[in-house]
Amino acid sequence: MINGYKDLFLDRTYKGAEDKYLEGANFFEIYALYSFDRELRSLFLRYILEIENNVKTALAYEFSKKYGFDNYLTIGNFNTNVQPHEKRKTAAQKIGEVSDLITGIQREISKQLSNNNPMISHYMLEEGYVPLWVLVNILTLRTISKFYNNLKQINQNTIGIKFKLYPDEMCALLSVLSIFRNQCVHDSRIYNFKAVKKNGAANSIKTNKMHAELKIQMDSGNNPIYGKNDLFAIVIIFKLMLSKSSFNKFCFALKHEIEEVDKKLQTIEIETILQKMGFPSN
């Protein structure tokens, strides 16, 4: 536990072989940061799940209205055309992505049947298929993200408009959200976590109106230095995708947790932690 949270309390000017803590730093401060991180996981997961449920409901409704309840295993109901921004992909690779999605869904249904999930078993035995509105409840947010990403653009638009988001924005938001969801579920450190892709590159949300409204500083590549793939990016996602009431409740709870950990700090300032979370100085 200590090794995961001690970094902010180390004296970085010290060049010796062993770690040296800042003068006055103690175990209780480090534990306070650990406890704060634990509360963050619980708080953020609560609202990530709210967005997840809303997206699942919208996706199941719109896809089923267009293609029926049982046609999510048909390749032709997804986008198999290589898009202009996918120049490095071939037509075969594009179809392969959709096939991979469908295979993953079939694998999950098989897993649920093996585990005797009563809802899944009922529909498979009685109807011969699982309606999408039932199926989405067992699919991970990562799979839902892939499902949306592979929809035909007209179907993406129909779902995205419910959240006032363009398809490319929605795809990026869901991808980052699913990564942070996994961190929360697996009790992994979240306050200084950043979403990355398999190749190590940043997995970022699109620069949007919130970055401009908050006047977040830009880097040399004209990208915001905060709110892209850090915890503050999730706050931006919440602002864009939660109801006003839910977002206000989240902000109130977050403010409370920040104030509580601030009371327990002696050797570092709360701004040091907020910076690691990706929060702008203002």
pLDDT in tens, 137-180: 999 999 999 999 999 999 999 999 999 999 999 999 999 999 99
Give me the DSSP letters along the chain: -HHHH-GGGB-TT--SSS--BPTT--HHHHHHHHHHHHHHHHHHHHHHHHHHHHHHHHHHHHHHHHH-TT-TT-GGGS--SPPTT-TT--HHHHHHHHHHHHHHHHHHHHHHHHTT-HHHHHHHHHTSS--HHHHTTTS-HHHHHHHHHTS-HHHHHHHHGGGT--HHHHHHHHHHHHHHHHHHHTT---TT---B-TTS-B--PPP-HHHHHTTPPB-TTS-BSSSSSSHHHHHHHHHHHS-HHHHHHHHHHHHHHHHHHHTT-SSS-HHHHHHHTT----
pTM (2 decimals)? 0.93
For residue 41, the model assigns a pLDDT of: 98
> Which residues in the chain land under pLDDT 70?
1-2
For residue 2, the model assigns a pLDDT of: 63
For residue 19, the model assigns a pLDDT of: 86
